[in-house]
Every structure is written in C-alpha cells, then in structure tokens.
Amino acid sequence: MASPAAPELAKHDLMILRKDLRIAARRSSERCLFHAAKWLAEQLNSLPQNVPSSHHYLKDQSSLPHDGLDTFVNDDEEDKYHLAKSYFNVNEFDRAARVVEGCVSSKAAFLCLYAKFMAGEKRKDEESEMVLGPLDGNVTANKELPILTKKLETMLADNKEDTFLLYLYGVVLLKQRNEKPAYQALVRSVISYPYNWATWDELKTITRSVEDVNRVMQDLPDHLMTRFFQLLASQELYHVNEAVYTLVEQLTEVFPRSSWLKSQRALLSYHVKDYEESEKIFDEIMQNDPYRLDFLDHYSNILYVMDKRSKLAFVAQVASATDKFRPETCCVIGNYFSMRSEHEKSIMYFRRALNLDRNFLSAWTLLGHEFVELKNTHAAIESYRRAIDVNRKDYRAWYGLGQAYEVLEMNYYALYYYQRAGALRPYDSQMWAAMAACYEKMNRPDDAIKSYKRALSGNAGSSAAAANQWDDFELNTKTLIKIAKLYERVKRSDEAVHYMEMCLKAEPDLGPSEDIATAKNWLAHYEKDRLNLGRALQLAQELFDAGLMVEDSRAMVRDIRNQLDMDHPRI
Amino acid sequence: MTLVGRLFSYHALTIVSSARRRRGSGRGQPIASARKKSLSKKKVDTPATEEDLENLSGSETETNTIKTRRRRRATLNTSDTREEDQPSPHGDPVKKRSPIPLPPPHPRYSLRSRGGTQLTPLVLKAPKPKLKEPEPESEDEEIQGLKEEEIEHLEDQEIEDLEDEEIEDLTTIPSDCTETFGESFGIEVPIASQSEPEFQPNEPEKQESALAIEGAIMEKFLREWRQDAVNKHQYDSAIFIGDKLLALTNDPNDAFFLAQIHFSTGQYTRAQAFLDGTGLIQKSAPCKYLYALSQIKQNKYEEALQTLGDESPIISNPHNLRKRGTSRANEEKYEAAMCYLRGVIYTKQGAYDKAKEAYKTAVKIDIRCFEAFDTLMRNNLLSPEEEWEFISEIDFDSMAASVGGAQGEATTQFLKALYTTRLSKYRNSSKFDDAIALLSTQYPLAGNHDIVLAKAELLYTQCRFEESLKLVKELLAKDKYNFKLYPVYIACLFELGKKNELFLMSHDLADNHREEPVTYVAIGAYYMLIDRLADARRFFSKASVMDPSFGPAWIGFAHTFAAEGEHDQAISAYSAAAKLFQGTHLPQMFLGMQHLQLNNITLADEYLQIAWGLCKTDPLLMNELGVVFYHNEHLHEAVKMFLNGIKLADEIGGDPKTYVQFRTNLGHAYRRLGRYGEAIEEFTHAIRIGGNEANIRCSMGLCCLMEGKTRDAIGHLHEALSLVPQDPVATELLEQALLKSADEPFEPTYYLPDGSAIVPTDKDFDKLLGEDKFQSPLPSDPSSSVQVASGRNAGTAKRNRVGGGARGTRRGEPDPSVMDVSDSEF
C-alpha cells in the first residue's frame, strides 16, 4: 500500500473532474441509485470554489463518453423509461419494472432489473414483520434474486461491461452470500467506470480485513475514486495509520469542502479513541451543514462514550427536529435513552431504526448492547449476529457475542467470537484479556498465559500516533498478576516471580494499589518459603507500612521476625 | 336411407368441430396436472405430452377450411363408390343384410309408399330395390356416408356430457342435413361454424328437378318443421312432428331420427325401447350403435356389450382393406365406432388392457375415429414406445387414397402432424417439432389453441412454468371455459405458488361448472397450496369419484398423503394411478420416491427403473435415480447421473431454479467421494440459482471442516443456523468446528503505523516481556520462532486428526447429509 502521490490537480484536471463527477451524479440519479447520486453530487459541490467553469466544455453533449450508458436505442424506450422512472420515484417498483420490461437501452434495462430488485426487497421487509421476530433475518429471502441472477447473467453475456448491470449483479450475488463472484463483478464494474460510487460502496462490504483491502487495491485502477474507497475501507476496518491520514489530507485538498471527508476523519479519530478531536470535527460539520444526519449516529456514540449527556440530548433534539424517521435519528435518541438507563425506551428506538432500514449496522450492535443491559442474552446474541450479517467488520458486535456466550458459559463459542474481534483489533488488550479468561475457564492455562501476554501489548488508551504498535507495553498490573498466578498454577515459579516483579516495577508510576499489594504479598510468601527472609521481611514491612492488607502483613512480619530470631537468636 | 346417410354424412365433415365441442366440455388430461406432484418440491416433470391438439377448430376460419376440404373429399368419394361399390363382394353389409328398405332418395317414392302403408318399416322393403335403381350409386354413397358419420356423431354424443354440447351437436346435424337434403328438409340452418350451406343449390336442384308431387311437399314441410324444431332445441315439437312423420312415411330413417331425438333429450330408455320396437337394431348399423350407446348411457354395460358383440373385427391387413374401396371403408367406420364403444365399456368394467386394444383397433380401422385416438392419448393408455409404434401402424395413406391426388398427400401430412402433436413428448421430440412447424407454417394453425396448448405442456414438462403459464393464459383469454386448458393452468399456478389466482379461478369454476372434475382438482390444488391437506384430499377424492379416469385427481389425492408423510396410503393411491395411466412415468416415479422415503431402496430402484423405461428425458427422474445410486454407495454412478441430468436440463433450457436439487445432490455425492472442493463449488452454484436452505449451508460447512478451513466452516454453519435456528446437525457440526478452531493457533496480523503488517508469534511477546531468560520452557510452550512454525504444523496434524474423528462419528450416525438429500427430495 504505497502511499499515492498527492494528486497534483491542475485547473484543467479539476475541470475534467468536475465534468466527470457531474456526469456520474446524473447517471446514478437517472438509474435511481439515489444514495450514490447524493454522494457524488456532494463531492461535486465540495470542489474548490475557484474551479473555472468552462461553459461549453461542461455542457457540450459531444463531450459525453461514448459508452452507450446515456443513450436510448429508440424514442419508444426513452418514453417508457421516463414513465418507469417516475413510478420508481413514487415507490411503485413492480409497476416500474413492468413498463420497461424487455428494453435494451442501458438506462431502461437497468431500471427494470433494479426496480424488480427493490420490489423484492420491499416485499422481503414486509414479510420479515417484526424486527427480531421469527420471520426476520435470513429466513425471509428476496424472492426475485434467482430470477435476477439469471437475467443479469444473460444480459451481461451480451453486454459485457455495463458498469451498472455489473453493480447490480454484484449486489444480487452478495445478497445470496456468494462473495467471490460478487467481488469479481464489482471490480469489473469499477474498472469499466470508476465514478460509479454505488459499486464502491458495495465493494467495501466485501473487504473483511486489511489483507483483503490490500489485495483488492491491486486489482483496482489507479483513480481518484479508488482512494476514496481505500479511505472508506480502512476506516471501517479501524485501520488507522499514517497512510490513511495522508489519504484524507490528499482528498481534502481536492475536495476541501467535503463533509463526508470530514466525517471520515472524525471517525478515524474515534477509532483511535481520540474523542475530543472527533467531537470537534463533528461539531464543525453540524455547523456547516445543520440538516445533515449522515454519520450522526457515530457522533452520538462518541458523546455516549465521553459521557456528555446534555450534548447528546442536544444532538438528539436537532436530529429529531430534522427528521424523526431516519435511522440515524432513532439511533441518536436510542443512545440518549440508553445513557439515561431507560433501556426499554432505547430498545424501542433502535427497533424503529431497524424498521426503517434493516441493514443499519450501528442500530443492531447498539440493540445488542441494550439487551445485554437487560440481561436478555439470547436477544442480544441475535442482535449481534444480525449486526455481523450486515457488516463483519464490527468488532463490537463480535465482542458482544463473545460476552453473551461467556454469560451462557459456552466458552468455545465465546472464544471464537473474541478471536474474531481480536483479529480486527489485535492491539486492543480488552479482546485478549477476554480470550484469556475463556481459556482459563476452559482450563487451558498455557493458552490463557499467551493471551494475557498479548493483552499486555495493548495500549488502547494512548494517543493516535502509537495506535497500532504491537510492541509497546502498558504494564497492567492486573494482567501481570493473572499471568503470574497462572504460571504458579502450572508450577513454573520462575516465570511467576518474573511477572510479580514486573508488577512491582510499576509501583513508582502508579503508586500503591491493591494489585501491587497482592504482588508484594505473594512475593513475600514466596521469599519466605525460599527462606530468603530478608527480602520477605522487607516486602511485608512495606505492605504493613502502606497500610495494605494490614492483618495479613502484620502476621507475616511477626512470623518472619520469629523465624529470624530463631535462626539468629538475639543476644 | 339416403336421408339418414346424409344426415350422418355431415358428421364426417364435422368430426373436427364436434371434437372441438367435446373438448369444450372437456375432461382435462390426466397427467398435466399430475404435475401437481411438485408438491414434493422436486418438481417432477409431466408427461404433459398427452395433451392433445386434438381440435382444429380454434378459430372459425380453420373449421371452415377443413370443412371445405372435406366436402371436396366427399365428392371424390362419390365417384369412387360408383366404380367400386357394386362389384365388391361384401357390398354394404347393411344393404345386403337388412331387409330394411332403403328409403327412397326422393320424396316422391316415400310419398308413394306412404300411401299404402302401415307404420312398419318392413313394408317399405319392397319398393326399395326398385327405387334404388334409378340412382344406385349416389344412394350407396349416401348410405355409407351416413353410417360412418353417424357413428362418429353418436360417439360424440356419448362422450359429451350430453348437455349443452350435445344439443349443439344435434343442431348441427340437421343443419347439415339441410345441405344434403335440401329437398327433404329444405331448411336453411346456420351451421355452427357459419359455413354457408353451399351444397344446397346443387343437390336439391337436381333432386327437385326430378319430381314434384304434393305428398312430397307435405313431407318436406313436416321434415322442415321437425328440423326447425330440433334446431331450436324444441324437442317436444320435434318428437311430435317426428312421430307424425313416421306415421306418414313409415320410413326407417324417420324412425331412426325419432330415436335420435329421444336420445338427445336424454331419454335413453325411451330411445332404447323405441329402437327395440322398430326392430331395426340388427339390420342397421347406426341403429345398433345408437342402441348400444343408449345402453351405455344407462350403465348397462353388459347388455351393451351383448348388443355390440365382444368380438373385435379382425383386420388382417388394413392396407388391403382400405384399397378395396370406399364402401368397404364406410363399413369400417361403423366397425371403428363400435370398437370404440367396446373400449368404453371395457374401461367402465376396469378391463383396461382390453379397452386399450379396442381403442387401438378402432383407430386402425378408421383413422378418423378420433374419439378412440383421443381417449388413448388423453389417458396415457400407451407407453411412449407403444404410441410411436402405434402411430406408425396407423394407415394415414387411406386418407390420401380417399381424397386422392396431391390433395390427398397434403391431407395425410396434415392429419399425421395433427395426430403427432398429441403423442407423448418423451420420444422423438424432433418429430413433434416438425409437426408443429408444419401445422404453423403450411396451415394457419400457429395460434390454434391445441397447438399452443401442446407447446405450453412441453414447456411445463421442462419446468418452464412462467412461460407455460403465459401461453395458457393467452388461450384462456380467448376461450375461458376450455377445460382442456385447466389442468396445465392449475399445475402452473400451483408450481408458481400463485395462491390468489388459483383461488379466484377455482371459485369461478365452482360457481359455473360444478359438474366438472377439474373444478374440484382446482379447489384441491388451492387447499394443498395453503397447506390444508385434509380439505385438499376431500376435493381430489371428489374429483376422482366424478371421473375415475381423471389422472390429476388421483395424483393430487396421492400427493396429499405423501405431503403428510402417510407413505403407505400414498403408495396405494399412486399405485391406483399407475394402473390407470400406463403411458406416463409419473406414478411410477412417485412410487419410487415414496419407497425412497421409506428407505426401501431396492423397491424404489425397481419403480424408478420402470419409470426410466417409460421416459428417459425427465431430468428429475434422473435425479431420483442418482439418489438411489447414492444410497447404494455407487457414488460415481450417482455423480454421472446427476451430471447427465444437469446436462439434459441445460439442453431443455428450463428454469435453473428447478435444478437446485441437482446441484445440491451432486455436491453431496462429491462430498462423499471426498472431493470437497468440487462439492463446495456445486453448493455455491446451487445457492446462486436460488437454493437457500440450511441443508446446503450445513453441507458446505461440513466440507470446509473436512478440508480444514475451520473458519469458513464456522461461517457456513452460522448461516445454516440463521436459517433453521435449531438444526441439530448444524449445531453439532458448529460445536465441533468451534472446538477445532480453539485448538488452532490464533495469531492475528498487526498493522504498524507505517502501514506494514507483522504477525508476531507468542515467543516474540515472551521476549518483550523479558521471559526469554528462562531456559526451560514447558513443552507446550514453544519458545523459538522455529518451534512456532513447527507448532503450526503440529496444529495441522492435529486438525487432520480431528477431521478424521469427525468423519468417524459421521459414519457412525446416520449421515445427516444423506438424510438431507432424501428430505429435500420430497
């Protein structure tokens, strides 16, 4: 992943970019890919203000690419297409599909299939009934999919590189969990037309690990849009490093006014637990674009973690004033209620978010958290599972699943899920500690020791710059003591002593604490047993002086003194 | 005689149209809806073939064309007769044998005879020969024509439910009479198919020119009146006038006509008694025929058989017979019709083999005996081989001979094509296509509903339900109550799960056609679709009681048992169906499937082999056979069978969704062979074409587990459980997979700020923690990178061991995926 050179965009290049984005936005919107169109138009409008708008250059029809994406084979199809599109716009999907059935022009053909797909999705949502009900989830499938697959396969055989058809094919395959061919279709789609944001958006769901992203990057064209994708994919994988920051910088140079880029940056900060920075950026976004709801759910998560209740309430008010029935809004409100420990209410809001969009990831995860709070483990498991179905990169859901299974004492299950979470965030000590706890319960102390050691490497609390270090240790005394005790259990006292001593080393930084007392106590006993009475006495005395474990240490001091006296009777 | 002859001669012309009418009253073909079987998820295909194109008369124009053609033929016949009639040793049997005087061709004679006579027809005997002389040939011709047509005509009646349709029939008869006997009936009646009475100007003129006596005028008047009454379905007046007419003329033709009217009013006993009274039965073939038919209508099968005699005529060499001439041919037509009646009786008596023979004989004697042909095809009495053999035995050339010349050649081809479309589509599909092509290119029959229906059935057989449904719907739009269409229609709706449409349709049928078994099949199918099996069974059973030879009803009935897992009852119901429909492989296949479910692999194999013998082109049957191989541990054969099935399915070009089962089963076979990669590929394919079953996901999980891809396995198993949360197999496999994954080393990749990745080993952490100073690590704690590497290998080894263990347990318990195969089968 060599960091790409900053795109030196001359004015002319900017002009071309502007034209391309404009065409792309129009194409997406003509195909009713509304979200992609919105994104593209947003980026289009966040280009620097001083881009010369060469009138003729932008308006000239002849400058349209000759790839057949914009033309109709005849007027008849064009009229039909307009009718279908207007039906689509009012959510009459089946009707729309029927109107353009059999059309061969790119736009009409795509609209036909897409409308069918949407009709199937709509029916699927309706048939799923209640969120988390018996019919929710994979049980209810989009019944149009097999037909669409077949049609798309025939159409793609004739018209090999229609980017939008390839996109739809990829989406359909993804819905059927057929990832390899889906990946190929999507990659083909972006290669043939990189400005197809819908495809990029879909492609990111396939990349499940940083390796995946790196591999994908090799297949992709070197293009401005590829960088957007790289940024998005890395962000979603919590893969924050200098290269990603450089990427944001470069893109921000081209699109200085892009709120989307800003929110990506805020999320990056969030992932490395730099909440203040993240909050700052979100505040900025809210000021510049007061009615923007995108990513607001993440903002509410940040505020939740920062325990800023009043600000969360404020954001919730803003959001619900803008649109009560957006999943983002519902999530913000749900978070607010969760913070007030009104878990039933918050569950209600998360459910509402899911009713609005069953693929809304953060709502699933948050719903799982709420169920955990209510000790409804099974519901929590189901919610987390759905979260993972939507996005396998959400370590919180994996971790939540692990926790839930741990509660149910299904340690193998728990371990597996913790491992998945750990694979996403190997430097997060929480994951490793959880894994180690599982190993302990499974009576595998060796494995537990290994996991604890890795937990020591975690430094999740430190600053962004060091976020991904694996060899930087935080001397977590609790973990050290656990390791030592486990070593004791497997009868390897040398190692046990080693870790207890390490624990003592932390004393100057942390001051006296219970863990250190435990370590001292343990060492005192150990030294005493080895008849190293001087050290033992010293440790016990230290303990006694610090006022920790008074009873025990006093007894030990007396005991050791007696022994010393016995060995070297005072004259 | 002439009268009667003419009267019936019309029927030859109308065979087609009457056939259409009959079809209108329609019993569906059994098999199409047999497909209902699809219940069992494994959509088996139908031998829909038997569906016929029997009727040519989708549109008026066509009918007209045919008629004209026929007329031409009739004319030709006449000349033939003239040449050959007299010399023939057998002559017209009726003529020879019967003492009955043939009625005078011209009114004057009748009048005369009437003058001196009582009502007995015998009295008329004497004059007849005399009368004959003036125009012997034409008379003969008429007679012959009369007989053959009459028979066919009566058959029509018999078959129809004698309601509206029958009445229509009658109407047409006389109307035709009008043409032929312009003089005697002189009425212009619009023929059903609007054909103009073109003949009227010709013959009547001739005849009229012969004589004009007042008595004749009187008679003519009465006949017109009678005819008019019949045309208006005013049978009472027809009977009244007919009776008077008979009294006047004492003409056997009038007697016969009166009997006909009695018959048409449904007074079979009266018709029978009346015929008894005339004493014509043994003398005149039409009378005998009508008599037998009346008996059949009264369910007096034994007696009818006695009337007819149970000896089929021996046809040593039909070709020779044919060549002997039209008179002979006409006689054959009677024989054919009577053979057909025998077949009907045998069917009613349950002697299906005899019935089959009788029908076959009927067609062989006279290819125009479509009734018999239709019965054979519609009920699948013949196996596909037999059918093709049979059609090659049919002597189409006789047609050519009777028509003569190039015309004859064309007629032969035409007829042959028509009949071919009715044949089973299991064999010689190329010939079938040729026939369709001929009918649609050379004749304007491309849109004819029989042809289209045949296409729809073919599509249905190939599991292309949407397309099939589209065709059927187009047909229904033109002719809503064409019951022939309904079995396919119902079956398609059922396959596609279109509850609502099925609901509306069955309600419509129930409101308007309570007398049709297909109505109850539709209702049954609807209930089956909404899983109310008990109700479904009730309606299927009702349908089968109404018409015991209605295949869809039987098979639907059996399906309700199969769906409830009542295998024994299902088997007996399927067996009954198998006895009735020997020409289709479906019942046999269902029997095989039931036995497969009961784990009687040997029996299943037997039945499936029988089915295989009947039909080698049903991909789904191949699937079943593959499953049998699979269960018998002949995995390679199973794979081959599945692959062939897929190939066949591809050739047919059916809906890929239907073939999910193939892919899945193929995957299972690969899995059992240890070819996990291919197995996973097949499963993936199955999912892409629409299979979304826990079973498939679960099998994929197992394969991944075997291949050591534990994480993938866990993913697949989770998918399976998300579909069927309590699936025991998946749960157990998942447990195993998770245990295994817990044993595998877990060393994720760390990404450093500069973007590089590193996979630190546990040892690296030891080093960082200053632990490397301890020189004596526990054996379980590999302490050097090298050892870590070997530790990984050890992990692999262990994994294999675990895999082996897993396989061991699989063997021990009934292999779950095997169970899955059979489950999904049904």
Rounded to whole angstroms, the Cα distance separating B662 from B668 reads 10
Which residues in chain B are closer than 8 Å to A487, comparing Cβ atoms?
A: none
Closest-CA distance, B422 to chain A, in angstroms, reads 32
Q: What's the CATH code of the domain at A475?
A: 1.25.40.10
CB B256 within 8 A of CB B233: no
Most confident range, picked from A337-346, A457-466, B85-94: A337-346
Nearest to A528 by CA among A549, A511, A553: A553
Of the pLDDT bands very low, low, confident and very high (cuts 50, 70, 90), residue B399 is low
Of the pLDDT bands very low, low, confident and very high (cuts 50, 70, 90), residue B4 is very low
CB B522 within 8 A of CB B543: no
Q: Check CB contact under 8 Å for A138 and B771.
A: no
Rounded to whole angstroms, the Cα distance separating A421 from B720 reads 22
Domain identity same for A563 and A443: yes
A452: domain range?
A: 432-461+469-567
User: Which A residues 349-388 touch B at CB under 8 Å?
Assistant: 385
Q: Per-residue pLDDT averaged across B677-683, rounded? A: 87
Taking the Cβ of residue A491 and every Cβ of chain B, the question of whether any pair is shorter than 8 Å is answered with no
Instruction: Please work out, in degrees rounded to the nearest 5, the angle formed at the alpha carbon of residue A469 by the alpha carbons of A465 and A474.
Output: 100
Which residues in chain A are closer than 8 Å to B649, comparing Cβ atoms?
A: none
Q: Per-residue pLDDT averaged across A340-369, rounded? A: 92
Interface test with B, best of A124, A171, A177 (most B CBs within 10 A): A177
Rounded to whole angstroms, the Cα distance separating A475 from A495 reads 16
Rounded to whole angstroms, the Cα distance separating B14 from B203 reads 19
The pLDDT tens digits for A501-555 are: 777 777 766 666 777 778 888 888 888 788 777 888 888 888 777 777 777 778 8
Rounded to whole angstroms, the Cα distance separating A383 from A131 reads 10
CB B696 within 8 A of CB B729: no
Kindly give the residue spans of alpha helices, DSSP state H, lying in A207-241: 210-219, 224-236
**Spatial CB neighbours of A383, under 8 Å, sequence gap ≥ 6:** A132, A364, A365, A367, A368, A371
* B76, B512, B522 from B492: Cα distances, Å: 46, 22, 11
Domain identity same for A414 and A526: no
Domain identity same for A404 and A442: no
The pLDDT tens digits for A111-148 are: 999 999 999 999 998 888 888 877 777 778 888 888 88
Nearest CA in chain B to A413: B738
Q: Check CB contact under 8 Å for B753 and A457.
A: no
Q: Check CB contact under 8 Å for B742 and A149.
A: no
The 8-class DSSP code of residue B751 comes to E
**Spatial CB neighbours of B19, under 8 Å, sequence gap ≥ 6:** B54, B55, B56, B57, B156, B370, B371, B374
Q: Check CB contact under 8 Å for B738 and A412.
A: yes
Closest-CA distance, B505 to chain A, in angstroms, reads 23
Of the pLDDT bands very low, low, confident and very high (cuts 50, 70, 90), residue A474 is low
Closest-CA distance, A423 to chain B, in angstroms, reads 5
User: Which A residues 157-196 touch B at CB under 8 Å?
Assistant: 173, 176-178, 181
Overall domain count for chain A: 2
Interface test with B, best of A392, A452, A454, A492 (most B CBs within 10 A): A454
Of A399, A426, A453, which marks where a domain is finished?
A426
Average per-residue pLDDT for chain B = 66
pLDDT score at B7: 26
Closest-CA distance, A295 to chain B, in angstroms, reads 26
User: Which amino acid appears at position B679 of this protein?
Assistant: A
pLDDT score at A280: 93
Nearest CA in chain A to B710: A416
Question: Which residue in A242, A470, A492 is closest to B778 by CB distance?
Answer: A492
pTM: 0.67
Taking the Cβ of residue A149 and every Cβ of chain B, the question of whether any pair is shorter than 8 Å is answered with yes
Domain identity same for A522 and A441: yes
Domain identity same for A448 and A560: yes
Taking the Cβ of residue B687 and every Cβ of chain A, the question of whether any pair is shorter than 8 Å is answered with yes
Domain locations in chain B? 574-751
Taking the Cβ of residue A239 and every Cβ of chain B, the question of whether any pair is shorter than 8 Å is answered with yes
Q: Per-residue pLDDT averaged across B542-568, rounded? A: 84
Domain identity same for A494 and A556: yes
Task: Provide φ and ψ at A334, rounded to 5°.
Answer: -60, -45
Strand, helix or coil for residue B757 = strand
pLDDT score at B27: 32
Domain identity same for A411 and A306: yes
Domain identity same for A310 and A397: yes
Closest-CA distance, A236 to chain B, in angstroms, reads 15
pLDDT at A571 over 70: no
Tokens (6 digits) for B592: 């095989």
Which residues in chain A are closer than 8 Å to B748, comparing Cβ atoms?
A: 422-423, 426
User: Which A residues 404-463 touch B at CB under 8 Å?
Assistant: 412-413, 415-416, 419, 422-423, 426-427, 435, 442, 446, 449-450, 453-454, 456-457
Closest-CA distance, B665 to chain A, in angstroms, reads 19
Question: Which residue in B688, B738, B749 is closest to A176 by CB distance?
Answer: B688
Q: Check CB contact under 8 Å for B741 and A416.
A: yes
Q: Check CB contact under 8 Å for A466 and B753.
A: yes
pLDDT at B20 over 70: no
pLDDT score at A54: 54
pLDDT at B721 over 70: yes
pLDDT at B438 over 70: yes
* B38, B508, B552, B561, B654 from B453: Cα distances, Å: 20, 21, 17, 30, 18
Distance of alpha carbon A142 from its chain centroid, rounded?
26
Taking the Cβ of residue B677 and every Cβ of chain A, the question of whether any pair is shorter than 8 Å is answered with no
Domain identity same for A306 and A392: yes
Which residues in chain B are closer than 8 Å to A241, comparing Cβ atoms?
A: 751-755
Question: Which residue in B689, B749, B755 is closest to A426 by CB distance?
Answer: B749
Closest-CA distance, B16 to chain A, in angstroms, reads 39
Closest-CA distance, A498 to chain B, in angstroms, reads 8
Kindly give the residue spans of alpha helices, DSSP state H, lying in A90-241: 93-99, 106-128, 145-158, 163-175, 179-192, 197-206, 210-219, 224-236
User: Which B residues 767-826 touch A at CB under 8 Å?
Assistant: 768-771, 774, 778, 780-781
Q: State the count of interchain CB pairs (< 8 A) between A and B.
A: 124
Most confident range, picked from A249-258, A526-535, B252-261: A249-258
Nearest CA in chain B to A450: B762
Q: Which residue has the tokens 């196996």?
A: B383
Beta bridge partners of B757: B751
Is A536 a member of any domain? yes
Question: Which residue in A138, A150, A426 is closest to B723 by CB distance?
Answer: A138
Which residues in chain B are closer than 8 Å to A132, comparing Cβ atoms?
A: none
Is A545 a member of any domain? yes
Question: Which residue in A211, A453, A490 is closest to B749 by CB distance?
Answer: A211
Question: Which residue in A1, A150, A427 is closest to B755 by CB distance?
Answer: A1
Taking the Cβ of residue B745 and every Cβ of chain A, the question of whether any pair is shorter than 8 Å is answered with no
Q: Per-residue pLDDT averaged across A12-29, rounded? A: 86
Q: Check CB contact under 8 Å for A138 and B722.
A: yes
Q: Check CB contact under 8 Å for A446 and B769.
A: no
User: Which amino acid appears at position B705 of this protein?
Assistant: L
The 8-class DSSP code of residue A160 comes to T
Q: Per-residue pLDDT averaged across A419-428, rounded? A: 84
pLDDT at A329 over 90: yes
Is A16 a member of any domain? no
Is A357 a member of any domain? yes
Domain identity same for A448 and A482: yes
Lowest pLDDT segment from B65-69, B214-218, B684-688: B65-69
CB B167 within 8 A of CB B209: no
Q: Check CB contact under 8 Å for A210 and B690.
A: no
Domain identity same for A380 and A331: yes
Lowest pLDDT segment from A158-162, B4-8, B747-751: B4-8
Domain identity same for A538 and A480: yes
pLDDT at B96 over 60: no
Q: Check CB contact under 8 Å for B746 and A141.
A: no
For B574-751, which CATH superfamily applies?
Tetratricopeptide repeat domain (1.25.40.10)
Rounded to whole angstroms, the Cα distance separating A448 from A438 reads 8
